[in-house]
Amino acid sequence: MFQWVMVWLVTCAIGASSYVAFASSRMGAPSVWWMILIPNALFGGFGVYRLVQDNEARKTLAPKWGDASLGFVTAFGLFIFFFLGAKFAVFPSPVASGWLRRIYDQLGSHALLASHGPRTALSLVVIATAEELTWRVLVTRTLAERIGHARAWIYAALLYALAHAPTLWALRSSAGPLNPLLVAAALGAGLVWGAMTRMTGRVMPAIVSHVLFDWALIVMFPLGTTSGP
């Protein structure tokens, strides 16, 4: 019973913070980043605490040689997938391209984020780490206690996407259709990062991949700031 209460508490709490973070009233404000970070940091910290209690912290958290390479390769693959998706599925549709620009507008001015490169990089590292500790450590390990390791990472990815479901409403244009892009992105990326953690038995490769992927999409090659890739 505890396991289900925990995973639904995480999903609902982060879902609520996602809705608040991506509300139009916060468009471009620093509070967007704080609302994403705070609940993930709290739950991620609890995930680390449970690892320590179970004497699994070193095995799960310690970096190893090759983590950076694996993280780079998967981040690059994810970026190419999203790049092609934007080119062939998003930008040909005025509605879908508007959804994408709405997400970028919410995160803040690209020129401002790029001009504060070190601060932006640090923010992405902290947020990505907190999210991976929450979903690939706390939620996945909690689910594994009930349904086994073979399926837990898949369910965790589904819940990761579900936690972004409130952005369907928060990110839609006024009186427009629901915006599914962030939910779809969370599902696809969550499955990749979950599979990485499952295969390696460690979370560091997923953290590296998550950070590099976010940096590429938000700072280096933002898809939502031009008329198309």
- Which H, E and C letters describe 143-182, residue by residue? HHHHHCHHHHHHHHHHHHHHHCCCHHHHCCCCCCCCCCHH
- Residue 47 above 60 pLDDT? yes
**In the prediction, which pLDDT does 62 show?**
94
**pLDDT score recorded for residue 228:** 39
Evaluate if residue 156 carries a pLDDT over 60: yes
The whole-chain average pLDDT of the chain stands at 94
Mean pLDDT of 12-40: 97
Could you give the C-alpha distances from 4 to 137, 155, 167, 194, in angstroms and in order? 15, 12, 23, 19
pLDDT tens-digit series, residues 212-229? 999 999 999 998 654 333
CA pair distance 29, 152, nearest whole angstrom: 35
pLDDT score of 225? 55
| Cα 191 → chain centroid | 11
Residue range of the domain that includes 73: 2-60+68-225
Q: What pLDDT score does 229 carry?
A: 37
Residue 96 phi, psi dihedral angles, 5° rounding: -65, -40
Q: Are 164 and 35 spatial neighbours (Cβ–Cβ below 8 Å)? A: no
Return the amino acid letter for 196: M
pLDDT, position 176: 82
State phi, psi for 28 to the nearest 5 degrees. 80, 0
Q: Which helix (H) or strand (E) holds 42?
A: helix 31-53
Provide the number of structural domains found in the chain.
1
The DSSP symbol for 59 reads: H
Helix (H) or strand (E) holding 82: helix 67-85
Tens of pLDDT along 102-141?
999 999 999 999 999 899 999 999 999 999 999 999 999 9
Q: What is the percent of the chain with per-residue pLDDT over 70, rounded to a whole number?
A: 97
The stretch 2-25 carries a mean pLDDT of: 96
Q: What is the pLDDT of residue 173?
A: 80
Mean pLDDT of 53-72: 96
